[in-house]
Structure 1
Amino acid sequence: MSAVPGRIEVLAPDGVGEVLVGTDLVALVVAALPDLADGDVVVLTSKIVSKAEGRTVAGTRDEALPGQTVRLVARRGPTSIVANPQGLVMAAAGIDASNVETGHVLLLPEDPDASARAVREGVRERTGRNVAVLVTDTAGRAWRHGQSDLAIGAAGIEVLDDHAGRVDAHGNELAVTAPALVDELAGAADLVKGKLTGRPVAVVRGLAALVLPDGDHGPGARSLTRDLSGDMFALGAREAVVAALAGEQPDAFGAPAPAGDVVDALRRLGVRATGTEDVVRLERAGDDTPLAALGHALGWTPDGGDPLEWRPGRRPATG
């Protein structure tokens, strides 16, 4: 990927107006940004995309939540963090109750990547310009207070800049650095769009090197979603305990833990054990319930029904 320049420009025009079901988003973008150029990145709030696509439904957020929940991640009091049909993990599935008619809520676009592609193709047809398009929404961060915008839909741009294999100025090979370019652009655009300003459209300029050729939409924002088995926080702390005790959601606990981790965990429960790469031997069985939950969470279970010999990868197909 080409180097990013040392300067970008982010603009959000006033006067976009109210978006209703059936609003032509391409016409809206072209009117709001009449000087679009090749290499621009157009950023749209998910709210106007949802409104234009008729995603307003009657009822409350709580009433709409079950239909937008694929998997409960965590619940604390009235707050539910869930995975929604779009693959996003968000509070209340990203259902919005602001700036919408009383007695109604707004669901996220059904397929935000497809929405971004449609706008990109429409802009190309009407203006001849090759731009990238992002659809953004606001989300919290697990380890920090506050929210930031992120891209839930993307077209015409690589969403991730994987630095694996590159070497820094000191000769150190990079392994895990991979900036989420589209999320960084979403955050930058939100600084000029704001939440209460009536500016739901922005354009980012100076990053033409990141925009893909006409007809190449890229992998889309959904490709940034972690697989369940690779998500170290697929369940909240309370929910993980319940799932382990119930023998549910095995994929949420990831690949089987190394034998050494299993041995250490058993010892914390007062059960002595020794282990090799593919087998852990317990000196005594102990209480079946906590041991079964521990084995389920770590991906190890008794081999052939022998409670004193565990092997990896024997999770029951439940959950």
Structure 2
Amino acid sequence: MELFAVPDLPEVRPGDDVASLIRDRTDLRDGDVVCIASTIVSKAEGRSTDLASFPAGPRARELAESLAEHTAGEPDPRFVQAVLEESVDVLMEAPFLLTETRFGHVGVNAGIDRSNVPDGDILLLPEHPAESAAGLRESLPADRVVVTDTCGRPFRHGQRGVAIGWAGLEPSRDWRGETDRDGRELGVTVENVVDELAAAANLVAGEGDDGTPAVVVRDFEWGDHAGSNDHFREIGTDYVRQAIRGWSYA
């Protein structure tokens, strides 16, 4: 399997055709997976905005005051309001806001970015990443598209690339019913392929000011395995989420 960054992509502005920018700079082949950072998808979709668009309500001001007690800085209540408006659930209120977005992704601050946003104060995640991925797949054209973001994980230090939208492949490769080398049947193994592709692409794309937000994965083979549509864990089986609900930060 080979990965390479799409070279010389310009700063993306609202209304730009991301698919055209990628298509003009690389020769895509059948079977390629194109991993595209959510930042340029959001920018093209006009998701950069100013904090003035989010006047803080009572709940946002209350949370900002609580966060100020547990952090070194003074959180802007307008930023907290933006997080609340981009979320359907707040799992943790301190020492940071851990929320669920409308499309099911759980992350800090609803994935709102404050870096590399030349046209505003903040950058929101794509509103419908799966639809964004499907549109990009049709326009490139590409067999498979993954829209990526970076976020932390429980029990691990640092961030990695994760998938928040995808098209042309199922998110998980289901090994259940297959056997290991000793003939034992696998009963629980479901491999989250889109996250693994996103993490691999993130190694090539980099962070900060690298300016390489699109990565082509070439010669990735799904293999003779069943697919699974599961990606975001259901609340009923998400025991970490259930434990967080009963926990408070002292």
Specify if TM > 0.5.
yes
- For the residue of structure 2 that corresponds to 1:224, the secondary structure is coil
For residues 119-142 of structure 1, what are the alpha-carbon distances to aligned partners after superposition, in whole Å with 9 as ceiling and x for unaligned? 111123xxxxx4200100001101
For residues 89-148 of structure 1, what are the alpha-carbon distances to aligned partners after superposition, in whole Å with 9 as ceiling and x for unaligned? 100010011101375111100110100000111123xxxxx4200100001101111111
Alignment counterpart, residue 53 of structure 1, candidates 45, 48, 56: 45
Q: Distance in 1 between matches of 2:197 and 2:44?
A: 23
Distance 1:233 1:209, change over 3 A: closer
Q: Structure 2: which 5+ residue stretches go unaligned?
A: 52-77
Alignment counterpart, residue 18 of structure 1, candidates 11, 20, 28: 11
Alignment counterpart, residue 88 of structure 2, candidates 61, 66, 70: 70
Q: Distance in 2 between matches of 1:104 and 1:87?
A: 24
Shift of 1:63: 3.2
2:48 corresponds to 1:41: no
Shift of 1:175: 1.0
Alignment counterpart, residue 135 of structure 1, candidates 147, 150, 168: 147
- For the residue of structure 1 that corresponds to 2:204, the secondary structure is helix
8 Å CA contact retained: 2:144, 2:169: yes
8 Å CA contact retained: 1:164, 1:174: yes
Task: Report 1:81-92 matches (<5 A).
Answer: 81-92=98-109
Task: Report 1:230-245 matches (<5 A).
Answer: 230-235=237-242, 237=244, 239-240=245-246
8 Å CA contact retained: 1:73, 1:235: no
2:132 corresponds to 1:115: yes
8 Å CA contact retained: 2:48, 2:119: no
Shift of 1:160: 0.5
Q: Choose between structure 1 and 2 for higher RCO, CA contacts under 8 A separated by at least 6 residues.
A: 2
For residues 204-227 of structure 1, what are the alpha-carbon distances to aligned partners after superposition, in whole Å with 9 as ceiling and x for unaligned? 0011556xxxxxxx987xx41111
Q: Distance in 2 between matches of 1:241 and 1:144?
A: 19
8 Å CA contact retained: 1:39, 1:132: yes
Q: 1:291 aligns to what?
A: none
Task: Report 1:88-103 matches (<5 A).
Answer: 88-101=105-118
| Superposition RMSD in Å | 1.9
Q: 2:160 aligns to what?
A: 148
Distance 1:174 1:135, change over 3 A: same
Distance 1:144 1:163, change over 3 A: same
Q: 2:193 aligns to what?
A: 181
Shift of 1:179: 1.0
Structure ID, larger Rg: 1
Shift of 1:61: 3.0
Q: 1:256 aligns to what?
A: none
Shift of 1:241: 5.3
Q: Distance in 2 between matches of 1:154 and 1:87?
A: 13
Distance 1:23 1:102, change over 3 A: closer
Q: Distance in 2 between matches of 1:159 and 1:52?
A: 24
2:193 corresponds to 1:204: no
Task: Name the TM-score, length of structure 2 as normaliser.
Answer: 0.82
Q: Structure 1: which 5+ residue stretches go unaligned?
A: 1-7, 125-129, 211-217, 243-319
Between Structure 1 and Structure 2, how many residues are aligned?
218
Task: Name the TM-score, length of structure 1 as normaliser.
Answer: 0.65
Q: Distance in 1 between matches of 2:167 and 2:228?
A: 8
The percent identity for this pair of structures is 40
Distance 1:103 1:42, change over 3 A: closer
Shift of 1:235: 4.2
8 Å CA contact retained: 2:173, 2:228: no
- Residue 240 of structure 1 aligns with an amino acid whose one-letter code is G
